[in-house]
Structure formats: C-alpha cells, structure tokens
Chain A
C-alpha cells in the first residue's frame, strides 16, 4: 500500500509542474505586453530596458519560467500592482475568507444532500425518489450566482432580515464567528455556495445507496432477521466512501470555483480577489491566486485519493 501512496504522490508532481507552467503562460495570453502594467506611461527606452532587465523579462522564456518558479517556491509571488503589498499576504488573507465559506458550505451540503440521497436511494422509483432527483437536477442546472441574487432579493430587499453584501459591518479584518452581527453575513453566501454540491452529493448518494441495496449481502442480512433500521445502517456505512470522495472533491472545487458567489455577495475571498485582479489587470495577483487555487485543488484531489485507498482496499490494486 505504501507503494500506491508513493506512486500517487509521484504522479501528482508532474501535474503540479504542468499546472505551474499553465499559470505562468497565462500572462502571455493577454493582449499587449505584460510590461505595460508595470511601466509608467512616459518611460524612455532606456528606462524600459532597465526595468526589463530588473524583472528578468529580457531573458528567454524557459529561464524566466524557472526564475519565477524559484521565487514561487520560496513564497515570493511579487507585489500587487494595485495595493503594493506582497501578493502572498493578499492571497493568503483572501483564502482564509474563502475557507470560512467553504468550511460551512460543505458540511451543510453534505448533511442535506446525503439525507436526501439516502432517502431517495432507499425507495427507488417512488415519489420521494422523483422529488429528490428532480431537486438534484435543479441544483446542478441553476446558476448559483442567480440563486444568490434571488436570495438577496427575498431576504435582504423584501424581508430585510439578512444583509445583502459584505463580510461584517466592520469588514473582514474584524470578523468573528461568535457575533451574530457578523455571522449573519455568512448565511446567504453559504447557502448559495452549497446549492450545487447538494445536487451533486444527493445524486451520488442516491446512486451509491441504490447500488449497495441491490447487493446480495443486504438480502443476506434481511434473511438473517436483522431489523430494517440496522440494515439501513449497514447500507449507509457501505455507501459512505463513495460519497466522502465526492464531498472531498467538492471542497476543492468550491475553494477554486467560488468566484461567482463571492462577486455577488462582495465577499472578500480569493475568488473576489481574482475578479478584481482581472479588472485591474493586476498580473502578479492574478498569477498568484490562480496558482494557489489550482494547487489547492490538486492537493485536495490527492488527499481524497489517498484517503479512499485507505478506506476502500479495492482501490489499491489499481
């Protein structure tokens, strides 16, 4: 089994490398010189050359990449053009805000989705199954940013019980989860963010539970006279690994893909920072954020794969 773990980790390294290459090359997709963003507009040719040399932009591309990679590995992502602060500080700060959202959204999605999916899986083909399946389809077809807007309309505009945007009345720096006046800002974004995962988790759970219920050992348990509740417990235990895997993947996905929801609620997370960086063409922040988020996704996938192999011995053979 250690061989599987080692191989899996080894496999992730070239992927991570490839991801960093993609992040690095993103800059070169943009129209215009990456230099434009750094230079003052009245620079003389001599100044241009100097700055080029200082940033290493006159070296060949692979060399630039390696230099950048070296900086990145030591934590130096450069300076934000907009705020003049080190990118790494900005990114980690924003990430912690996104992490807060995700760490509430995933358990919420899991609770709702697993319950719905389990009930549907236990009664396949019946009315409750159709309702749950329908809800799951709705969940994955709904634009989550639209749901956010609708929730804002309902709860903030019409009913006025929850705030529309932002992270607390005093901003993110002073946010505390122990105060309702701050926490109420969490409610709508978390609910919105959990919508798609609820759809996916309930669909996966339903399929897993239905599949396990069909297996012979369940019939054996019933034949032995085990009560229905105990049988259901066994079934849930057996279908758990598949669902856990999906949940873990959703966590990584939400960390990386929260940009739309955060924009709707002006939540100062990594996604919002990304959209600001795009508007401002703040290349160092852009690169740094994307690299961080992608690496988190890769790492989450890796952890989920490894945990799955621990729980489910069949996977180790692969």
Chain B
C-alpha cells in the first residue's frame, strides 16, 4: 500500500456532503416541541394566570382580605357583592382566595428552588468527587430519605415552631435528598463519557470541566425533576398550613383557610371546599405542565 504524503490540492473527503437541512440544536428543539403541544400550553396558560393573579392580587381582589365583619359571617355566594361569600370571620372569600395564592405559591416554589440549588450542588460534587466524598454525601442524604416526606416536613417545621419561613426551610430540607440523588446520577453518567476524558487531557481543571461540560448535560434531568416537585411542594406546603404549621393567621393561605373553614362545615359546606379546589387546580396544572416539559426534554439525540 503506497500512497503519497498528501492528497492533490483541493481534494475533498468522501463524507463531506453538507446536510441539506440544518437540524436544530437541543434547546431549540425542546422549544419547538413545547410550542406544538396544545395540552401543555393550555395548562401552562392556567399556571400563568394563577401566578399573575397572585402577583396582581391588590388589583383583582374586590375587598380587603383582612377586613372582618361580625354580621357578615359565613354568608352564601353573591351576598351583597361578595361573589363567593364570606368566611367565618366575615372576610370576603374571593379576595382571600386570590391573596392566598401568594403564600401557597411562594411556599410551593421557594423550597423547590432552594432544594435544587443545594441538592443539585451536592449531587454534582458527589458525582464528580472521589469515592469517599461521594459516600459521605450520599449516605447522609439516605438518612433523610429514610423519612416519609410528610413526616419529615411536619417534624422539622413542628420542631422549629411553625411559621412560613420555617415551613419553607423544612420543605427545602425534605426535597434536597431527592434532588441530590437525581443530580448525582446524572453527573456520574456524564463523568464516564469520553469527552470528559478529552477535556481532562486538554489540561482543564475540575471546576472548568464541571462548568463547561458537565453542567450542560446535568441541567436537563435536574430541571425536569424540579418541575415535577413543584406540585408536590404546593400540596405539602398547604398541608403544613392546614395543620397550623405554615402561615400564621390572619394571613390568607389556602391550607389555613381549609382548616379554619372546616369548623363551619355544617353551616357552609361549599365555602369550605373552595380553598381545597384552588390547591387542587394549581397542583394538577403544575403537574401536567411538568409532564409536558419532561416529554419535550427527554429525547435521545
């Protein structure tokens, strides 16, 4: 087999035909799929409306959610301009529902954000560091994983004395182990791939490799899992409020309202069901949106 040291000038390679269509990159194909998924878009719209309603509550609520009225207690729908009636202290129910979205959404979203940041970081460190660090982190997480989440959330926020901040901290602590596991698994998978070795061969330090090569590949699974946690977080958070461990009265909050209106269940049963309906609708919409996000993002390249 004898060939010259170089091909003639202008030589082309056999496999050089440029593809006819420019195929999309990963993120733009995710966007494409989402835009063409009517169900997810629909529920995403509802989520957006709920969030906007909570943000713009002062503009939307017809009455002051804190204003009590002894004579106005537990009035039915439509009474004197109260579209959904009043609660057991005479406050307008619709206004309290709209304002209640604020604390419920906050207590749903903030713990997930904290857990993603904390658990994600720990997971990436655990996935990338040596065996001992990995074992230390993962076994510690296992201990917290050994509690049922409701129990752990109640125990921690109960021990801390309740209140919104403590509740959020407790929930963040409940979600961190799971997020850590997801991040660690994703990182461990990426770590064994060839391009990481190539990056090391280039002389890059660990932080540089993590930042440029690992994070991009880990962010996907982490984000998918975080979006699925939001609906669980909303449920748990309002559960804590229901038990009196979340927001303190008189702040409007769906779980708390459910608990206080329960006393009047024989008198005004429908009013009692409303806050729970709000929790349910919010939670299920977040759930369906996160399912849609997962379908859009979970593609083999």
Answer whether A and B touch in the complex at a CB cut-off of 8 Å.
Answer: yes
11 A-B pairs whose Cβ atoms sit less than 8 Å apart in the complex? A14-B139, A30-B160, A30-B161, A143-B235, A143-B279, A143-B280, A158-B269, A259-B151, A260-B239, A275-B154, A290-B155
- The interface stretch among A15-23, A88-96, A101-109 is A15-23
Most interface-central of A16, A27, A29, A263 (chain B CB within 10 A)? A29
Given contacts A137-B287, A157-B266, A263-B242, contact A150 B276 (CB under 8 A): yes
Give 11 A-B pairs besides A256-B147, A274-B158, A286-B158 with Cβ atoms closer than 8 angstroms.
A14-B139, A15-B146, A18-B140, A23-B155, A141-B231, A145-B242, A164-B265, A259-B150, A274-B151, A278-B245, A294-B147
A149 and B262 contact, CB distance less than 8 A? yes
A146 and B276 contact, CB distance less than 8 A? yes
Chain B residues positioned under 8 Å from A294 (CB to CB): 146-148, 151
Chain B residues positioned under 8 Å from A230 (CB to CB): none
A26 beta carbon closer than 8 Å to chain B: yes
Interface size bucket, A side? Answer: 35 or more
Give the complex CA separation of A256 and B149 in angstroms: 9
Give the complex CA separation of A72 and B161 in angstroms: 25
Give the complex CA separation of A152 and B284 in angstroms: 22
CB-CB contacts below 8 Å: B226-275 with A: 231, 235, 238-239, 242-245, 258, 262, 265-266, 269, 272-273
Closest B residue to A297 by beta carbon equals B148
Give the complex CA separation of A279 and B284 in angstroms: 31
Secondary structure at the B interface, as helix, strand, loop or mixed, is helix
A143 and B239 contact, CB distance less than 8 A? yes
B21 beta carbon closer than 8 Å to chain A: no
A141 and B235 contact, CB distance less than 8 A? yes
Count chain B residues whose beta carbon lies closer than 8 angstroms to a beta carbon of A.
43
Chain B residues positioned under 8 Å from A164 (CB to CB): 265
B265 and A257 contact, CB distance less than 8 A? no
Chain B residues positioned under 8 Å from A293 (CB to CB): 148, 151
A210 beta carbon closer than 8 Å to chain B: no
